[in-house]
Copies of this chain bind each other. A is one copy, B any other.
Amino acid sequence: MQICVQSWPAMPHDDPLPSRLSSDVYNVLRRQIVTGELRPNQPLIELDLAERLQVSRTPVRECLQRLAHAGLVVPRKRGWAVREFTPDEIRQNAELRMALEGYAASLAAIRGSPSDIAAIVAIHERRLTLRSSDEEKRVKTNRDFHDAIMRASGNGRLTDAIYHSGQFYFNAPIARATTGEELKLGNADHALIVAALLKRDGAAAERAMRAHIQRTFAVFWRVTGLAEPLHVQPR
């Protein structure tokens, strides 16, 4: 087969099983769902997908099972369709991220090794020197920053869950928005998080991370023009 893996915006949690076709199919379909190339509620016809990707139905079906488990695809009476995310579900996901990344930040502050913390600080400082025009680098260092904190938490399950939740931001037109303005605003928030980490103050780190994610999503609603659901602010 010749699944055309053109270069695309790096995405977290690509899931390559050791040399298995269904894994390539998974990554391609996930990207197409997540970027909106496959529209919400669009029915997914196995044979169509198989022909487009030059594989048989078998890997496609296996991949659909995983997408369904990931929550990106929903079962219909017959077959599958791309899941549609309502604004409320996006809010719910933001809250999920606040729970997970907030806790990760708290663990990082408490038990991250000195070199873990140093790595986070380094990423933060590198980020401060970026020219505002270099969007790609900003996206990357932002991800690096959050990744480094997760890693410092010393909890792989938590990290997995965060990656998982990350699959939900991107649904058209979310991808563009979350990589756009949000990133310009982040530095002040990041500085607060870094300060808490350096003080080894878990509670402060958790608060700062939650506030950061919440602010990010406030931007998101504005940029996308979606109506912000009520109760984004839990406390």
Taking Cβ atoms with an 8 Å cutoff, the residues of A that contact B are 15, 17-18, 20, 22, 61-63, 65-66, 68-71, 75-77, 89, 92-93, 95-96, 98-100, 102-104, 106-107, 110-111, 154-158, 160-161, 164-165, 168, 202-203, 231, 234-235
Copies of the polypeptide in the assembly: 2
A contact patch SS: helix
Residue in chain B with minimal CB distance to A159: B92
Q: Are A92 and B235 in contact (CB under 8 A)?
A: no
Known: A92-B158, A99-B99. 9 other contacts (CB 8 A): A15-B69, A62-B65, A95-B107, A95-B157, A95-B158, A96-B157, A100-B100, A110-B234, A202-B234
Q: Are A160 and B65 in contact (CB under 8 A)?
A: no
Please give, as numbers and ranges, the residues of chain B lying within 8 Å of A18 by CB-CB distance. 75-77
Please give the distance in Å from A23's CB to the nearest CB on chain B: 9
